[in-house]
Homo-oligomer: A and B are copies of this chain.
Amino acid sequence: MQLYSFFNSSTSYRVRIALRLKGVEHEYLGVNIRTGEHRAPDYVKHINTSAAVPAIAEGDFHLGQSLAIIDWLDARYPEPRLIPAEPQARARVLELAYLIGCDIHPVNNLRVLKYLQDVLDVTPEQKSAWYRHWIAEGMAGVERLLAQAARSHDGPWCFGAAPTLADCCLVPQIANALRMGCDLSAYERSMAVYRHASEHPAFAAAEPQRQPDYTA
């Protein structure tokens, strides 16, 4: 399998965690989204129709969208399962994953911040306030979901004793917010999951600074 990834992309980071948790051997191919490699005609035509990272390839099969990739990995490499089969447990994991994947991450990713800066000409302070606003709004919801989940389990992961898709989404989102200088100390449950994950070899191996295309 090939993984097309950019070290600093949170969505690539989600898939890196999933691949490591499942122990799937893969070739890492860096795609520099800062210089626009994800928009190169050959990449869009043959690798990822969505013109984005991450993408995976296995033989003739190519797939983009991090959440679709992790769903597919769960079918192709079922152990350990990252999205529960039981409908209500599954619903809770997906709800948290989508809160991050649909409500928090998209508004704060590189292309949006670039548009604010390059087209709307916002100041660095306005850009930073934008980022912090959506983090604060979204993370409050994440904390409420984790508090609700904690009524039926003791952690240390979002939904109990083993990591799920929710943790694959939460950890990169927190890492991203910390890199942007956000104070996340109020989000105690989220930070407890993040600290626990930092000690886990699969999560640690997926960190941006440990990728082959990392640059300081």
Residues of A within 8 A of B (CB): 44, 49-52, 61, 63-69, 71-72, 75-76, 87-88, 90-91, 94-95, 97-99, 101-103, 105-107, 111-112, 115-116, 119-120, 122, 126, 129-130, 133, 137, 141, 144-145, 148
Which residues of the partner chain B approach A107 to less than 8 Å between Cβ atoms? 106-107, 112
With contact pairs A95-B64, A126-B120 given, residues A103 and B106 touching in the complex (Cβ less than 8 Å)? yes
Instruction: Establish whether residues B49 and A145, one from each chain, have CB atoms under 8 Å apart when the complex forms.
Output: yes
Instruction: Establish whether residues A65 and B130, one from each chain, have CB atoms under 8 Å apart when the complex forms.
Output: no
Which residues of the partner chain B approach A144 to less than 8 Å between Cβ atoms? 44, 49-50
Contact residue among B51, B75, B130 (Cβ-Cβ distance under 8 Å from A87): B75
Contact residue among B94, B133, B137 (Cβ-Cβ distance under 8 Å from A65): B94
Instruction: Establish whether residues B50 and A68, one from each chain, have CB atoms under 8 Å apart when the complex forms.
Output: no
Starting from the known contacts A65-B102, A111-B137, 9 additional A-B residue pairs (CB-CB under 8 Å) come to A44-B144, A49-B148, A65-B94, A65-B95, A66-B98, A72-B88, A72-B91, A107-B107, A119-B133
Q: How many copies does the complex hold?
A: 2
Which residues of the partner chain B approach A120 to less than 8 Å between Cβ atoms? 116, 120, 122, 126, 130
Q: How far is the CA of A66 from the CA of B91 in the complex (A)?
A: 11
CB A140 to nearest CB in B, in angstroms, measures 8
Which residues of the partner chain B approach A94 to less than 8 Å between Cβ atoms? 65, 67-68, 71-72
CB A146 to nearest CB in B, in angstroms, measures 10
